[in-house]
Amino acid sequence: MELKMGTLLFIVLCVLKFKVSETHTKCFTQETGKKMYGNSCSDNTQCLTEYCDYRTCSCPFGSVLDSKTGFCVRTTGDNMIMASNGDCGYIVSTREVNLYTVVVQWDIIGDTDTYVTLVILEVNMDTFYCSYNYVEVLEGSTTLRGPLCTSNDYTAKYQASKSSRLTVKYRGTYGSYQGFRAVYFIRNNSAVLTEPTGYIASPGYPLNYKANSKYSWLITARPGQVITLSTTGSTQYLYDYVYIYDGQYEFNRLKSHTGQWSLQSLTSSSNYMLVVLSTTYSWSSSSSYYGFSGSYQVYGVLYGESCNITDTCIQGLTCLGGVCGCLASQYYDKTTCTSRLSAGAFCYGQDFCAQSLVCSGSYCRCQDSQYYDKSSMTCKQTLNVGELCDPTIEDMCASRDFVCRRQTLNTTMYTCQQACTSESIDKKTFIALIVVAAAGWAVAIVAVVSVIILCLRNQKRSVPY
């Protein structure tokens, strides 16, 4: 008897069906020194994938490497993912299950008194056959999302259970379509979030939230870092609130949301931000109020603080040599990095001026033995006598006693030459000038005396006897 393709696939999946415990509980890493997939190892703790097989960092059975994160993710078979409070992980579909007749299911089960937050990050399905390829999210028999069938969709889609269990079902796509990619988090009603990038959704989102409840999310970062949070939501106006605090306690409130609000962003002034959802005993279970969702990002460290390659320095700073600072072409102007000043600009200190310039007399200029070349915007060594120069550039010659002028009247070449000053006049020439001047005065005196004598003689002759 001939078996149909669908029957054969069903038999294969039944044989391969397994249930395992999720061992990869990190979604983002701030650790350094961990070995990447494929590197040699001796135990699991050395690997970013958290699994060492035959002395090589690899992924355990039932999971593959997610090239975008470097972590191993569940992909095939019916998976029961047992997770504890604070755990998180990725779910990614691959070509091994990209067949229209195959349905894969992930059951994410957290500890008692926890709930599951799932964020679908990417969806790429064959939209012409949506009844055959899709992803949906369920809590028990209640559908929170889907069936979802879109292509090239990178808009984050949030859903969160009210209980400790969430189910993801995927019917495989085909061809060049990639399926979907999602991340999950296990949290309780007082969650502490330590990932540098993360997502928040109130339990029951996007359907409705519990009445008479209080949930909190404390986002923590390293000293010197700050946190930016963006949220959108809908709560019962004047009864149910989302409070956002700057710090780790309910003291310095940044914002309070009630009713409906579109995407809004806030930034902390410290390395803590506290988010609180407070609901009353009223009719919050109505489906018209779905709670809130949001994402956050930790932004590096301040000027002068230590950093590493996983940090993002704030205020336009760059991680240089393990410290957040400005590029060589910039200086730190109290709040941000600013381009250094060029020659002739007013300055307050050495750090303000461009490289090779000094702040002298409150102005950026070259050192005494240099001149400023405007074409290259750099300082260059001054020139000696006989070297070619440009008469349009000031202070190009090495000394103020030198000038840049043409060598002869019949040439266009300019060189640094000795300037004509009173000190440089030849002594003999000076003496000769004195002699000539003295001789001139002597001749003048003799001429005057001769005229006087002639006048006296003529006067005597004219006197009668």
| DSSP tag of 423 | G
Distance, in Å, from the CA atom of 221 to the CA atom of 299, rounded to the nearest integer, reads 9
Last residue of a domain, which of 235, 264, 299? 299
Range of the domain at 105: 62-173
Residue 404 lies in a domain: yes
203 & 112 share domain: no
- Assign 362 a pLDDT band (cuts: 50, 70, 90): confident
Q: Which two tokens stand for residue 236?
A: 């019962």
CATH code (residue 165): 2.60.120.290
Residue 373 lies in a domain: no
- What backbone phi and psi angles, to 5 degrees, belong to 353? -85, 150
For the residues 356-383, what does the mean pLDDT come to?
Answer: 84
156 & 195 share domain: no
Alpha carbon 385 to its chain centroid, in Å, reads 51
Distance, in Å, from the CA atom of 410 to the CA atom of 395, rounded to the nearest integer, reads 25
Q: What is the pLDDT of residue 103?
A: 79
236 & 200 share domain: yes
166 & 101 share domain: yes
Instruction: Please choose, from the candidates 174, 173, 194, 170, the residue with its C-alpha nearest in 3D space to the C-alpha of residue 182.
Output: 170
285 & 231 share domain: yes
| DSSP tag of 338 | E
164 & 195 share domain: no
> Is the pLDDT reported for residue 30 higher than 50?
no
Q: How many domains does the chain have?
A: 3
Peptide bond into 203 cis (omega under 30): no
Residue 76 lies in a domain: yes
Q: Which of 122-131, 265-274, 328-337 has the largest mean confidence? A: 265-274
198 & 167 share domain: no
Residue 452 lies in a domain: no
The answer to whether the predicted template modeling score (pTM) of the entire model surpasses 0.75 is: no
Q: Which two tokens stand for residue 209?
A: 């939230």
Q: Which two tokens stand for residue 333?
A: 């102007």
The pLDDT tens digits for 213-253 are 999 999 998 877 889 999 999 999 999 999 999 999 999 99
From first CA to last CA, the distance across the chain in angstroms is 181
Residue 200 lies in a domain: yes
Residue 84 lies in a domain: yes
Residue 8 lies in a domain: no
Distance, in Å, from the CA atom of 226 to the CA atom of 200, rounded to the nearest integer, reads 17
CB 198 within 8 A of CB 118: no
Say if residue 238 is exposed, middle or buried (CB neighbours under 10 Å; 0-12, 13-18, 19+): exposed
209 & 278 share domain: yes
Q: How many degrees, rounded to 5, is the angle at CA 23 between CA 19 and CA 26?
A: 135
- In sequence order, what E strands does 260-357 have? 260-267, 272-278, 291-299, 318-320, 323-325, 330-332, 337-339
Residue 102 lies in a domain: yes
